[in-house]
């Protein structure tokens, strides 16, 4: 082969990874279903204009676009599913009493890879709670995210909280800043650059230290919040973290904003032992309706490929069934949970078929 | 709303249909897994040239295409998954001993709707057995297709067999015909037009009657096959049908060719009670390797949306959990199989949340 089989950023999921990914998503959605989240499955392509209108974290120009020969309008392949779930909640399920609990799983496609990931196609699975972004709503969403990961066998889960509108609240209240300075300050805080922060607005310096293990960071943030501008957020955040305390590692990075630009009061990233980088994220946000009105929502997305890459493989157990075996016997063994691999000609061998067991004289023997 | 939410041919799957579709595919692939079929998950987009090379039943120009800014080559969104599974079997799994058993489920996209279906995005789930198209292989594939449908709760299954290369075999043997006449004859046979068939080649007239319930049609085809050109096919077909006899309704339409143009000796369509039109199809075919060599294969695809549309809805059972309920009690009830829907504020009601039961004094009561 002198050329790549697939374009960069696209890949085949082969056995046993593809099975593991499907199983993971099934368990995640089953755990969410037990909390009342029902699945929606929006289409791969939509009118570009309708999708762009709702896309926030992903730029519409990152989507694969094409002209629809039927409507003569531009369609886009979805670069994100959350925006589609928002569309469904705002339109087809607009009449449904709030809150609406929805779940989803599927592939998203981007024309160009992101800065942090070379992948252009990724699988996402998640939940959206539409109509509320209260502390009670956030407690439920964080609990469902953690339970979904636990149900999928993920261990060593960490939840890293952030307060996406923290700088906005502080600069609109006790520590005024111009718009330009706010962006600069956010950059310097992201970089943990104390000198830079001091040069822009020394009052914000304590925020650099208010990151790390949750309880200590929360304490420092409470001490910093002498003016009380953050009190309701800090109280709420504590209650949200309490919902999963003891089940996960809790951390706080109050000024982390990468990818949280469009979240409202709460954001969180999910990590797990063995997985490199984030395995998911979530937070509160706003849905815009057709008439311009806004609605609060909160949700999370899990990154199937990142989770599967960090997980162990289940051992394969495959039973080779020689030529001439009674089909009823093989059916009975499948009923007992065996994977049966039938010989289809005399040359088939258990080794070629990656079998771990073989049927000899109607008895199961390990190879 | 003055405009359609979605382009024609695309639709949202909403609750409870989206859950039913996901459950169906999970059960189908689980049944196939018990026979040793392991899942592959090829990407949504590929190099157009590589995909077109392997597409047969679907024309490459029906695919959504776009220029990849990374490679500057044309990519296509898959209009079919079977061709991708063939690519994987021929390349990345080319070294794997034959036969290779693979399964898949996913969405396919077409730029234009087909003649028979207005949908431009469809979900497909299926199995491919690569390396063999013998009677033993066909018996296994037909059995797995039927067991997968049964596992998904589909009832009243029919298998309608066809012999895609029948006219080719007969015209190359006992009843010679020119190429042009062969196409005309196939059209007239498809239309069950006795006058038309008689005008082209009267020797083929008995084929019109050799369709219908399997055993009688097979008998008529055997009587027609005086020359013996079809004997091995007819013997094989009988054995394949025998693999699922008694579990399904068996029919035979030996000259049906729509959509079977690229199948080799065997094709079949699947139907079920309550579903309009086909719910799947399968057959034997040929995979072309990079070096031009060919390999026999056989497989089937199920059409998730067609099956779900024909199925009944599972009744929803949702338990409303009032504000202030101990989370441990709700967790215990989920453990017992309940879907719990928590009140998140004082205004929530069981009715608004489509609940069938409510928790009162820690006891479950029907509404």
As annotated, the binding site of B includes 80-82, 110, 124, 128
Enumerate the residues of chain A whose CB falls inside 8 A of the CB of residue B111. 66, 68-69
Q: Rg of chain B over CA atoms, in angstroms?
A: 25
| Backbone torsion region of residue B322, taken as left when φ is above 0, otherwise alpha when ψ lies between -120 and 50, otherwise beta | beta
As annotated, the binding site of A includes 80-82, 110, 124, 128
Residue A152, pLDDT score: 93
The mean pLDDT value for B88-94 works out to: 92
In the block, which residue shows the tokens 């309708």?
A: A50
For residue B41, give the DSSP letter. B
Residue B314, pLDDT score: 67
| Euclidean distance between CA atoms A64 and A79, whole angstroms | 8
**Do the beta carbons of residue B308 and residue B17 sit within 8 Å?**
yes
Per the model's pLDDT, the better-predicted residue between A84 and B1 turns out to be A84
To test the contact with chain A by mutation, choose from B1, B13, B26, B36 the residue with the greatest count of A C-beta atoms within 10 A, namely B36
**Do the beta carbons of residue B107 and residue B11 sit within 8 Å?**
no
Residue B121 φ then ψ, to 5°: -120, 130
Cβ-Cβ contacts under 8 Å for A178 (sequence gap 6 or more): none
| Euclidean distance between CA atoms A106 and B123, whole angstroms | 12
Residue A110, pLDDT score: 92
| B11 inside 8 A of chain A by CB | yes
| Euclidean distance between CA atoms B270 and B256, whole angstroms | 13
> Taking CA atoms, what residue in A is nearest to B134?
A344
Of A246-250, B15-19, B41-45, B105-109, minimum mean pLDDT range:
B15-19
A 155-194 residues with CB < 8 A to B:
none
A 213-252 residues with CB < 8 A to B:
243
| Euclidean distance between CA atoms B275 and B157, whole angstroms | 10
To test the contact with chain B by mutation, choose from A4, A10, A12, A142 the residue with the greatest count of B C-beta atoms within 10 A, namely A12
3-state secondary structure at position B57: coil
Residue A123 φ then ψ, to 5°: -100, 140
For residue A106, give the nearest of B12, B107, B82, B108 by alpha carbon: B107
Enumerate the residues of chain B whose CB falls inside 8 A of the CB of residue A11. 43
For residue B60, give the DSSP letter. G
| Euclidean distance between CA atoms B45 and B62, whole angstroms | 14
Beta-sheet pairing, A74-77 with A45-47: antiparallel
Mean pLDDT of chain B: 92
Q: Read off the pLDDT band of B55 (50, 70, 90).
A: low
How far are the Cα atoms of A145, A149, A249, A273, A310 from residue A157, in angstroms, in the given order?
10, 8, 6, 7, 12
pLDDT digits (tens, 9 = 90+) for B163-203: 999 999 999 988 998 877 888 999 999 888 999 999 999 99
Q: Read off the pLDDT band of B58 (50, 70, 90).
A: low
Greatest Cα pair distance, chain B, in angstroms, is 83
| Euclidean distance between CA atoms B322 and B341, whole angstroms | 9
Beta-sheet pairing, A158-162 with A74-77: unpaired
| Euclidean distance between CA atoms B91 and B104, whole angstroms | 17
Residue A54, pLDDT score: 74
Tokens describing residue B68: 């990849």
| Euclidean distance between CA atoms B28 and A102, whole angstroms | 24
Residue B292, pLDDT score: 86
| Euclidean distance between CA atoms B4 and A46, whole angstroms | 11
- SS in 3 state form for chain A? CCCCCCCCCCCCECCCHHHHHHHHHHHHHHHHHCCCCEECECCCEEEHHHHHHHCCCCCHHHCCEEECCCCCCEEEECCCCHHHHHHHHHCCCCCCCCCEEEEEEEEEECCCCCCCCCCCEEEEEEEEEECCCCHHHHHHHHHHHHHHHHHCCCCCCEEEEECCCHHHHHHHCCCCCCHHHHHHHHHHHHCCCHHHHHHHCHHHCHHHHCCEEHHHHHHHHHHHCCCCCCHHHHHHHHHHHHCCECCEEEEECCCCCCCCCCCCCCEEEEECCCCCCCCEEEEEEEEECCCCCEEEEEEEEEEHHHHHHHCCCCCCCEEEECCCCCHHHHHHHHHCCCEEEECCCCCCCCCCCCCCEEEECCEEEEC
| Euclidean distance between CA atoms B51 and B41, whole angstroms | 15
Q: Rg of chain A over CA atoms, in angstroms?
A: 25
How many contiguous H segments (helices) and E segments (strands) does chain B have? 12, 16
Residue B156 φ then ψ, to 5°: 65, 45
Tokens describing residue B355: 């609940």
| Euclidean distance between CA atoms A168 and A172, whole angstroms | 6
Distance (Å) from the alpha carbon of B41 to chain A's nearest alpha carbon: 5
The mean pLDDT value for B221-238 works out to: 92
| Euclidean distance between CA atoms B355 and B318, whole angstroms | 5
> Taking CA atoms, what residue in A is nearest to B2?
A290
Enumerate the residues of chain B whose CB falls inside 8 A of the CB of residue A138. none
Per-residue pLDDT of chain A (367 residues; tens, 9 = 90+): 445 789 999 999 999 999 999 999 999 999 999 999 999 999 999 999 888 877 665 677 789 999 999 999 999 999 999 999 999 999 999 999 999 999 999 999 999 887 777 899 999 999 999 999 999 999 999 999 999 999 999 999 999 999 999 999 999 988 998 877 888 999 999 888 999 999 999 999 999 999 999 999 999 999 998 789 999 999 999 999 999 999 999 999 998 888 788 899 999 999 999 898 999 999 999 998 888 899 999 999 999 999 998 776 667 899 999 999 999 999 999 999 999 999 999 999 999 999 999 999 989 999 9
User: Residue B315: pLDDT above 80?
Assistant: no
To test the contact with chain B by mutation, choose from A39, A66, A69, A110 the residue with the greatest count of B C-beta atoms within 10 A, namely A39
| Euclidean distance between CA atoms B229 and A235, whole angstroms | 84
Q: Read off the pLDDT band of B261 (50, 70, 90).
A: confident
Tokens describing residue A34: 């037990």
In the block, which residue shows the tokens 């019109």?
A: B208
Measured from the Cβ of residue B317, the count of other Cβ atoms closer than 10 Å reads 12
The mean pLDDT value for B7-32 works out to: 94
User: Residue B128: pLDDT above 50?
Assistant: yes
**Do the beta carbons of residue A43 and residue B12 sit within 8 Å?**
yes
Of A230-244, B44-58, B133-147, minimum mean pLDDT range:
B44-58
Enumerate the residues of chain A whose CB falls inside 8 A of the CB of residue B69. 111-112
CB pairs under 8 A between A and B: 229
Beta-sheet pairing, A100-109 with A38-39: parallel
The mean pLDDT value for B60-65 works out to: 84
Work out the end-to-end distance of chain A between its first and last CA atoms, rounded to an integer number of angstroms.
Answer: 36
Q: Mark yes or no for CB contact A353/B75 under 8 Å.
A: no
| A75 inside 8 A of chain B by CB | yes
Residue B1, pLDDT score: 41
B 318-337 residues with CB < 8 A to A:
318, 327, 334
Q: Mark yes or no for CB contact B22/A93 under 8 Å.
A: no
User: What residues does B8 pair with on adjacent strands?
Assistant: none
| Euclidean distance between CA atoms B345 and A1, whole angstroms | 61
Q: Mark yes or no for CB contact A15/B36 under 8 Å.
A: no
Distance (Å) from the alpha carbon of B109 to chain A's nearest alpha carbon: 8
As annotated, the binding site of A for L-histidine includes 80-82, 110, 124, 128
Q: Mark yes or no for CB contact A12/B92 under 8 Å.
A: yes
Q: Mark yes or no for CB contact A45/B64 under 8 Å.
A: yes
The mean pLDDT value for B91-105 works out to: 94
Q: Mark yes or no for CB contact B88/A12 under 8 Å.
A: yes
**Do the beta carbons of residue A162 and residue A252 sit within 8 Å?**
yes
Q: Mark yes or no for CB contact B71/A8 under 8 Å.
A: yes
Cβ-Cβ contacts under 8 Å for A236 (sequence gap 6 or more): A135, A138, A265, A266
């Amino acid at each position: 082969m002198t050329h790549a089989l697939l374009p960069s950023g696209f890949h085949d999921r082969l056995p046993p990874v593809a099975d593991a990914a499907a199983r993971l998503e099934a368990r995640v959605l089953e755990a969410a279903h037990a909390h009342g989240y029902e699945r929606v499955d929006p289409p791969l392509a939509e009118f570009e204009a309708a999708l762009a209108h709702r896309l926030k974290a992903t730029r519409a120009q990152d989507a694969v676009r094409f002209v629809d020969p039927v409507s003569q309008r531009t369609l886009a392949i979805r670069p994100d599913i959350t925006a589609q779930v928002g569309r469904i909640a705002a339109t087809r399920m607009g009449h449904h009493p709030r809150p609406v609990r929805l779940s989803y799983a599927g592939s998203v496609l981007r024309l160009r890879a992101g800065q942090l990931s070379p992948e252009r196609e990724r699988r996402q699975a998640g939940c959206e709670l539409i109509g509320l972004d209260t502390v009670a709503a956030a407690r439920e969403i964080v609990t469902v995210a953690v339970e979904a990961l636990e149900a999928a066998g993920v261990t060593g889960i960490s939840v890293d909280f952030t307060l996406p509108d923290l700088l906005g609240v502080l600069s609109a209240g006790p520590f005024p800043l111009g718009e330009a300075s706010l962006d600069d300050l956010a950059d310097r805080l992201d970089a943990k650059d104390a000198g830079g922060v001091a040069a822009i607005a020394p009052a914000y310096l304590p925020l650099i230290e208010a990151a790390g293990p949750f309880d200590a960071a929360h304490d420092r943030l409470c001490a910093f919040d002498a003016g009380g501008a953050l009190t309701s957020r800090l109280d709420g955040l504590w209650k949200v973290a309490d919902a999963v305390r003891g089940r996960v590692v809790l951390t706080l990075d109050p000024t982390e904003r990468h990818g949280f630009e469009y979240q409202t009061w709460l954001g969180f990233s999910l990590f797990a032992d063995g997985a490199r980088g984030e395995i998911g994220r979530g937070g509160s946000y706003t849905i815009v309706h057709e008439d311009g009105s806004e609605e609060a929502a909160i949700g999370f997305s899990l990154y199937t490929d990142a989770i599967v890459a960090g997980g162990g493989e289940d051992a394969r157990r495959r039973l080779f069934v020689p030529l001439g075996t009674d089909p009823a016997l093989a059916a009975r063994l499948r009923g007992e949970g065996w994977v049966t691999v039938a010989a289809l000609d005399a040359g088939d061998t258990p080794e070629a078929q990656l079998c771990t067991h073989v049927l000899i004289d109607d008895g199961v023997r390990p190879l």
